[in-house]
Structure 1
Amino acid sequence: MTLNRRRLLGAAALGMVATACSPKPKPAGSTETAAPPATATSRAPVPPDWNALRAQLPGGLVLPGDGGYELASQSYNPRFDDHRPAAVAHCTSVADVQRCVEVARNARMPVAARSGGHSYAGYSVPDNGLVIDLRGMAGIQVNGDAAVIGGGARLMEVYAALAGVGRALPAGSCPTVGIGGLTLGGGIGVTARKFGLTCDRLTAAQVVTADGEQRTVDGGDLLWALKGGGGGNFGIVTSFTFATEPAPDITVFSLKYPAGSTADVLGAWQEWVTQQPDELWSNCIVSAGSPPSCRIGGAVVGDENLAKQLLKTLPRASSILIQGKGYLDAMRYFGGCSQRSTAQCRPQVEGGQLPRESFTASSKVLDSAVDPATLVNLLDGRSAMDVLLDSLGGAVGRVKPGDTAFPHRKAIASAQIYSSTSAQDVAEVRDGLPSKFAYVNYIDPAMPDWATAYYGDNLPRLRKVAAKYDPDKVFGFAQAV
């Protein structure tokens, strides 16, 4: 089968909420520059005046019937091409976002922000709703170890800009995923064990809340919720401020194993990965078949000698790649962009070389090792399907579950279940894995008890934050907290 980047990636993201603008000065000691959120109202809906909104948006407003609507209403996944938003607003400033939120709030219509457009459920292109497209707000500014990144920025743009000044941010692998959705759902990536989740590096954010106010947040309940509480729940983030790290050299590795050895290799990998230092991150990708096969990949923050030392206790592989790279080249490798420039690592619709992909996916988060025979049996005889186990632990596990909204701090791995053909296969494998928890950035409309699965014990606090900042549920959607 051909799953392109999914065979290379360990993590992806939602693409639901974000954009760009430098934070404005705020009073010392303050965590919000705007007044407290308004209480719930019961005003009658006001139909949107699209002509008036169009006149206020320099980036343009696209309606059904307009030239370019079919393209503007697309998400990354062609499965959602039947979604028909009422309008797509191309925002270039915070004021644009505020105008759009006001229109959606007054009309009581669905509204969602879109940067990467990778929502696994298509939530960033709501039927009969307003899409707030943030690609026009993708600026990246670096000052010392702090980076201010617009929510419309995509990961390869972020990596290239940071690497250009010798800095790095732990984040995901897919080059076209938006920084917004990734961060707001947590942000699992190939340097997470060394540097933490993307949300762990978030120090401040600018957010347009449901009342149309822009808030500069550097603490308190809203910032806590933005650190893993899921995209689309609390407002539209117009910029993120992150604490970055010096860009390290990274050694990438890939070990392939013959079909029939999967249970033994998976069992050994699960034991091995929990014993490794923070410098090593690894995944084990199990591919469906008769019998299933697997490979082990990963990254070591360090040189090839360290990687070889750490890998020597794994089962003997049929082929091995160990290669030292600079930070940006390593991120290109994991994004399937080793032979492409940063400009080429954009979607084809924006002049790049990366195609869209049609898939169905779900997840589980594993608090303990999965029985290898169970997973092999679940995938035996199926096709066009992978389960990607991405290691956690290290720096991720040293944060308490309640210190951020991301609750899965004691997990050993996440499991992304990915099929290019069968939603039924995905559901059967998901329900066959013995865990009640899952990763919100692989959001699944059919996930049993989804709210508990994604947020665990943090759910009650998240709901209080959502009710405080969005009492009218302006940002409500099928799986909003």
Structure 2
Amino acid sequence: MPRRRRQRGSGMDRAASGAAFPSAADWERLRGRLAGPLFRPGEPGYATARRAFFTMFDDRRPAAVVGAARVEDVQAAVGFAARHGLPVAARAGGHSYPGYSTVDGGIVVDLGRFSGIKVRPDGRVVLGAGTRLGPVAATLAAAGRVLPAGLCGAVGIAGLTLGGGIGVVDRMYGLTCDHLEAARVVTADSRVRTVSATAEPDLFWALRGGGGGNFGIVTGFTFRTVPAADLATYTLEFPAAARAALFGAWQDWLPGMPDELWSGIEFAPGRTALAGTFLGPETRLNGLLDELVRRTGARPSARRTRVLDHLSAVRSFDVRDSRPALREAYTGTSRMLTRAAADPAAVTEVVTREPGVTTLIDSAGGAIARVGARETAFPHRSALASFQFLHDAAPADGGEAGARRALAAVRDGLGPEFGTTGYVNYLDPDMPDWAQAYYGVNLPRLRAIARKYDPEGIFTFPQGLAAPRSTVHIGET
């Protein structure tokens, strides 16, 4: 029997809104309009098509997955969802921690076929929304260019950009979204819009840090790039007993460092390490690291530096297997360090109190902070660092529920230097006051833009900015 669920806070039933679940004939008409495949429950390919990166969400059953092969396919899927009252979600890299890119009872628009990469003679690059960071970096490297971006080659360019885009040269060049010049997006009315600083600038502003899935389905991006240069990389390993001293020294050392330096700390079970990159001579890097070691007051158990081309340097930090077909079970959450912690030892105790949690601390500042908090939708411009907390979520590790309990103990145990903050690319379904945490001072403007471009809530999801639709179909086929 078909089941329906009312959205929380709504008293209107789907039937009252006039929308009916599509008939078999309706689905076939949609299939006939598509250049790419349509996967429905029970059909060959559906079981694979519905799965995202994280295995924890393999029980979710979309009503259909559209393997979009052209922009018109995206338009058709969005229009169909709107007419029939179905939720719709875009999937590019599929790395949403809460699994928001796989929607029960709705339509998943898979953008994996939008994988084109075109490097222009002027150094700009045009990317399809389904491209992954690994191929982007490799293609640009062959042209002597770099798009400032993250380390994981399997992550999609779309989600990274729409949430901001933290990477290994961002103190020098800014976030990924700071290099965005134009985007092509299908909005809830099925229109294709090419947005930029001069064309629908409010939507363009929102797409630079306002989070994926909120304002439409982006199908393509145009970015400025920067010339490729060698990177001096470094890794220093410390005994676990030095964690508080390392973090305290690092947070005081970082603001005085040149923009050419990016730095991160990892506190993981059995591992305490500092690593990063430097756009400059190895000799100068070693002098900067010597200062940090002196401030720490503890000798590292291992210290390695070397100079690599940019692509090799990025690949050297990508410790997870970057094959898109590989799937895993882990989840995460985040906070932003807004100012130096008054008690580094207390912070270190909190972030290491749960034995299964890995903490990744990434430096901010530099070029990131030279953009105002309201100039793009990314609000955390003045932060000193971002904190990401990870926990395995396979059944043997306690499952997703156990992972989230451990992560919450860390996330909510931190002091006032972290405030109500979080990074929207590390979505956490249990984040307290999530909208304020992710969007800060930009929340009112972002909500207004979401209402403007999606007044009916076509793109609503549990942590979305669009107004929720009256009801959502669940489990109908």
TM-score class, shorter: 0.7 to 0.9
Give the stretch that moved more between structures: 73-82 or 220-229.
73-82
Give the greater-gyration-radius structure (CA): 2
Alignment of 1:381-396 (within 5 A): 382-396=354-368
Q: Offset of 1:378 from its aligned partner?
A: 2.0
Q: 1:424 aligns with which of 405, 421, 430?
A: 405
Q: TM-score, normalised by structure 2?
A: 0.86
Give the stretch that moved more between structures: 64-73 or 171-180.
64-73
2:436 matches 1:455: no
Residue 36 (structure 2) aligns with: 59
Q: 1:208 aligns with which of 174, 186, 190?
A: 186
2:292 matches 1:321: no
Once superposed, which parts of structure 1, at least 4 consecutive aligned residues long, lie more than 4 Å away?
none
Q: Distance in 2 between matches of 1:137 and 1:234?
A: 19
Q: Distance in 2 between matches of 1:287 and 1:308?
A: 25
Residue 457 (structure 2) aligns with: 473
Residue 36 (structure 1) aligns with: none
2:305 matches 1:335: no
Matched residue SS, 2:277: strand
Instruction: Say whether the 8 Å CA contact 2:116–2:131 is kept in structure 1.
Output: yes
Alignment of 1:196-345 (within 5 A): 196-219=174-197, 220-288=201-269, 294-315=272-293, 316-336=299-319, 345=322
Instruction: Say whether the 8 Å CA contact 1:225–1:405 is kept in structure 2.
Output: yes
Alignment of 1:89-238 (within 5 A): 89-143=66-120, 144-219=122-197, 220-238=201-219
Instruction: Say whether the 8 Å CA contact 1:288–1:379 is kept in structure 2.
Output: no
Q: Distance in 1 between matches of 2:284 and 2:32?
A: 59
Instruction: Say whether the 8 Å CA contact 1:253–1:321 is kept in structure 2.
Output: yes
Q: Offset of 1:105 from its aligned partner?
A: 1.0
Instruction: Say whether the 8 Å CA contact 2:36–2:70 is kept in structure 1.
Output: no
Give the total of aligned pairs: 425
AA at the equivalent of 1:44: G
Matched residue SS, 2:155: coil
Q: Distance in 1 between matches of 2:338 and 2:152?
A: 25
Residue 9 (structure 1) aligns with: none
Q: Offset of 1:379 from its aligned partner?
A: 4.3
Q: Distance in 1 between matches of 2:172 and 2:148?
A: 9
AA at the equivalent of 1:458: N
Q: Distance in 2 between matches of 1:137 and 1:197?
A: 23
Q: Offset of 1:104 from its aligned partner?
A: 0.9
Instruction: Say whether the 8 Å CA contact 1:155–1:172 is kept in structure 2.
Output: yes
Q: Offset of 1:218 from its aligned partner?
A: 1.1
Q: TM-score, normalised by structure 1?
A: 0.86
AA at the equivalent of 1:386: T
Considering only aligned residues, what root-mean-square deviation do their CA atoms show, in Å? 1.5
Q: What are the ranges of 5 or more consecutive residues in structure 2 without an aligned counterpart? A: 1-15, 294-298, 398-402, 466-477
Matched residue SS, 2:334: strand
Q: Distance in 2 between matches of 1:328 and 1:114?
A: 26
AA at the equivalent of 1:51: E
AA at the equivalent of 1:317: P
Q: Distance in 1 between matches of 2:41 and 2:304?
A: 49
Q: Offset of 1:46 from its aligned partner?
A: 4.5
Q: Offset of 1:288 from its aligned partner?
A: 4.7
Q: Offset of 1:327 from its aligned partner?
A: 1.2
Q: Distance in 2 between matches of 1:213 and 1:251?
A: 46
AA at the equivalent of 1:84: R
Deviations 1:96-152 (Å, cap 9, x if unpaired)?
A: 110010111111111111111001110000111111000111111111121111111
Q: What are the ranges of 5 or more consecutive residues in structure 1 without an aligned counterpart? A: 1-41, 338-343, 350-354
Residue 28 (structure 1) aligns with: none
Residue 47 (structure 1) aligns with: 21
Instruction: Say whether the 8 Å CA contact 1:173–1:334 is kept in structure 2.
Output: yes
Instruction: Say whether the 8 Å CA contact 1:249–1:303 is kept in structure 2.
Output: no
Residue 19 (structure 1) aligns with: none
Matched residue SS, 1:433: coil
Instruction: Say whether the 8 Å CA contact 1:248–1:302 is kept in structure 2.
Output: no
Q: Offset of 1:472 from its aligned partner?
A: 0.6
Instruction: Say whether the 8 Å CA contact 2:90–2:111 is kept in structure 1.
Output: yes
Matched residue SS, 1:401: coil
Give the stretch that moved more between structures: 51-60 or 392-401.
51-60
Q: Offset of 1:297 from its aligned partner?
A: 0.7
Q: Distance in 1 between matches of 2:208 and 2:228?
A: 23
Q: 2:331 aligns with which of 328, 343, 360?
A: 360
